[in-house]
Chain A
């Protein structure tokens, strides 16, 4: 076992130990485990939300994207900032609805605001199914990180198993409080790692940051524009738009607990104001990816660019520390994703006679979902890859119904909303797997068109909602409100 491997393993154990220390007392209720007592400070909410923005994609995907598509990778910086603009208004609104009606999940919101248990269950199924490949992506990403940092394939598999067991352990033990505590450490490590890379990589490749880009300007000018093949202006614009819609309307189910657990809408607004400054750090993987163009062979795997560059530029023990930061960037989102899946299943899909039975079902789902993602990651890493293609665009199909449900009076019926969602997901599946040529347009964005059309036509045929349960419940006293889970 080399130095990098030792540091990586110790780092993962330290991350999990910190998560385990986050528990205050045993959670006897799913609500406490999922959203705490809805009293997280602005600082805790900050790290929970930031933790969801910085994932393995930040380390592996963004640098790889810049390696192949140049500065088009900056679409990620743009969409995250834009999503915070919409979340500035939507986050506090969602939080307030959640507090007043006891939401624990995104499906609760749909069931309540549309007065439709069926729609809530469909949203829960869609969310859980689409999140599973996203969970696997984090686990396999972690394995790749360890393999690249240590050069050991066996060590990578061992790390995937170890990280999954540790993550399941601290999630079950501490719930969202454990995730919040780990998010502090992960973000500190991540920012440190990115700053080290920002200094070390350009120096090792061409002497300085300025010289690096002057060289690129002469050798690969197209990569400094939004015109490279496959990543042109259309790709940039449509990818940024669909990602901003999906993220800005909070369509990913695992991103709901960080919002619902906040102490106040004001705390959330404060975070949305300042979080964009934090995202400036995402420019660093883009710079590392562009540096890779000068240092690596053209056929290099895009996912390996950042850590290969780190290995070229830094001593082994520093690479180990960067691998720990990257492992944290996989473990924290994994924890949030598995919590998202388990609450959707145990709270919205599985009937439970008592709170204790519900919590047991929840914990069993955590183990089952993590186990399934790990086994698939080890044995059939490509099996869920196709489904992953649908995750982002598929969940973005919830955007139109989300907008309608956030209105003070929801006039969209459950049936038109459901038909729109199903149509959007079906169209996306056809565009993704049917070899349909849509150029560099994002298929998720294209699928929103039939989604909206069907929603509109169904509304014309069936009429708008007259009996708006959501609007009525919203104006009632909290004590008299319709409990969301009774609807879901």
Chain B
């Protein structure tokens, strides 16, 4: 995971927090017949999926390879048995 991936993921977060400070959003406006603040929130919700999808596609998930036995719950079972 590189810094650029964190930046991509932060874009929608900034979009949500920017809403109160953008006059073209935070006003009694209608976009497509709906309140601009509501449309803005929905757009950035979709933007969250786009950003995370981009991160997923380009980031190297070393843990996935390290834990190739992800589908095998035996490791956890052993830990739970040890706990008992």
The A62-80 residues at the B interface (CB cut-off 8 A) are: 71, 74, 77-78
Q: Is B33 an interface residue (CB 8 A)?
A: yes
Contact (Cβ within 8 A) A213 B49: no
Q: CA separation between A486 and B83, bound complex, in Å? A: 6
Q: CA separation between A88 and B52, bound complex, in Å? A: 8
Contact (Cβ within 8 A) A100 B79: yes
Q: Is A286 an interface residue (CB 8 A)?
A: yes
Q: Mark A179-203, 1 if CB is under 8 A from B, else 0.
A: 0000000000000000000000000
Q: Write the nearest CB–CB distance from B8 to chain A, whole angstroms.
A: 10
The A169-224 residues at the B interface (CB cut-off 8 A) are: 209-210, 213-214, 216-217, 221-222, 224
Contact (Cβ within 8 A) B26 A233: yes
A280 with B42, Cβ < 8 A, contacts A85-B9, A233-B21 known = yes
Q: Is A114 an interface residue (CB 8 A)?
A: no
A37 with B73, Cβ < 8 A, contacts A85-B48, A209-B33 known = yes
Q: Write the nearest CB–CB distance from B59 to chain A, whole angstroms.
A: 10
8 Å CB contact of A210 from B17, B33, B49, B56: B33
Contact (Cβ within 8 A) A96 B35: no
8 Å CB contact of A279 from B10, B45, B52, B63: B45
Q: Write the nearest CB–CB distance from B30 to chain A, whole angstroms.
A: 6
Contact (Cβ within 8 A) B20 A81: no
What chain B residues lie within 8 Å of A226 (beta carbons)? 19-20, 26, 37
A81 with B44, Cβ < 8 A, contacts A37-B73, A221-B28, A263-B70 known = yes
8 Å CB contact of B45 from A81, A96, A221: A81
Q: Write the nearest CB–CB distance from B72 to chain A, whole angstroms.
A: 8
What chain A residues lie within 8 Å of B83 (beta carbons)? 102, 483-486
What chain A residues lie within 8 Å of B51 (beta carbons)? 85
Q: CA separation between A281 and B35, bound complex, in Å? A: 16
Contact (Cβ within 8 A) B80 A82: no
Instruction: Write 28 A-B pairs (CB below 8 A) sorted by A numbering.
Output: A71-B35, A74-B19, A82-B48, A84-B48, A85-B9, A85-B13, A98-B76, A217-B30, A221-B28, A224-B28, A225-B27, A226-B20, A236-B20, A240-B17, A264-B70, A265-B63, A266-B64, A266-B70, A269-B56, A273-B49, A273-B52, A276-B46, A290-B35, A479-B79, A479-B82, A483-B83, A483-B84, A486-B83
Footprint of A on B, CB under 8 Å? 1, 9-10, 12-13, 16-17, 19-21, 26-30, 33-38, 41-42, 44-46, 48-49, 51-53, 55-56, 61, 63-64, 67, 70-71, 73, 75-80, 82-84
